[in-house]
Structures are given as C-alpha cells and as structure tokens.
C-alpha cells in the first residue's frame, strides 16, 4: 500500500523553530511537496523537492532523502500566522497525481 506519515500536531512558541517530519512509502515518486492549509481554505504551495538535499525559501526550508523515504519542513522565526495545517504530499506519477499525508496541525503560541 501507500503510506505518508507525519505527526498529527505540534506546538511551538512565537519566534521559535519547528521541524515537521514526513516519511513515505509510495508506488511511484516524482517529487515531494509541502503545502500550508488554513481551516476552510485550499492548500497553498510552500516547497518542492525532487533531488536529495535542502531547499531554502525564506523562513521555510525543506529537506529530502529519497533513499530513506524521508522529508522535513523547517519553519523558522515562527509567527502567529503560521498556525495552520502543513501537508506533505508525494507526486506519484508524471501526470501530477498527488498523494497527501494526513497533515500536521502547527499551533503557535505567544
């Protein structure tokens, strides 16, 4: 079967750093995505990794290890507006089909 696992919830204080881990086992792999989703809204794109290594984009960084089936999203200098669900998704074919993890709810406290 296909599995994409990530923690259910994480809490951190404003200004801190949080790392959200994602492990995956899928039938195909054509890249790994991270999305942010606020309640009742559509996901917004954060990052994309297809090769091993770290991709940095401002306060957000994402890492991929294909041999380990592992990725993480690093959120630095947390702000209250970062409170949201973060979805790990694997593109399983060349057409763009995405398999999503259950999402990690990040709660940022003052």
Partner 1 sequence: GAVVSQHPSWVICKSGTSVKIECRSLDFQATTMFWYRQFPKQSLMLMATSNEGSKATYEQGVEKDKFLINHASLTLSTLTVTSAHPEDSSFYICSARDQAGNPYEQYFGPGTRLTVT
Enumerate binding residues for partner 1 (CB under 8 A): 30-31, 33, 40-45, 48, 50, 87, 89, 91, 95-103
Residue with Cβ nearer partner 1 (90 or 108): 90
Residue with Cβ nearer partner 1 (75 or 87): 87
Give the integer Cα–Cα distance in Å for 89 and 28.
12
Give the integer Cα–Cα distance in Å for 67 and 24.
11
Whole-number minimum distance, CB 50 to partner 1, in Å?
7
> DSSP secondary structure string, 9-73?
EEEEETT--EEEEEEEE-S--S-EEEEEE-TTS--EEEEEE-SSEEEEETTEEEEEETTTTEEEE
Whole-number minimum distance, CB 100 to partner 1, in Å?
4
Whole-number minimum distance, CB 15 to partner 1, in Å?
28
Residue with Cβ nearer partner 1 (41 or 77): 41
């Amino acid at each position: 079967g296909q599995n994409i696992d990530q923690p259910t919830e994480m809490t951190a204080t404003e200004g801190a750093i949080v790392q959200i881990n994602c492990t995956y086992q899928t039938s195909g792999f054509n890249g790994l995505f991270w999305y942010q989703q606020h309640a009742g809204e559509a996901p917004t794109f954060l990052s994309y990794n297809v090769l091993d290594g770290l991709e940095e984009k401002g306060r957000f960084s994402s890492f991929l290890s294909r041999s380990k089936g592992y990725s993480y999203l690093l959120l630095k200098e947390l702000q209250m507006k970062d409170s949201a669900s973060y979805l790990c998704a694997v593109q399983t074919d060349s057409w763009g089909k995405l398999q999503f993890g259950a999402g990690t709810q990040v709660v940022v406290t003052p």
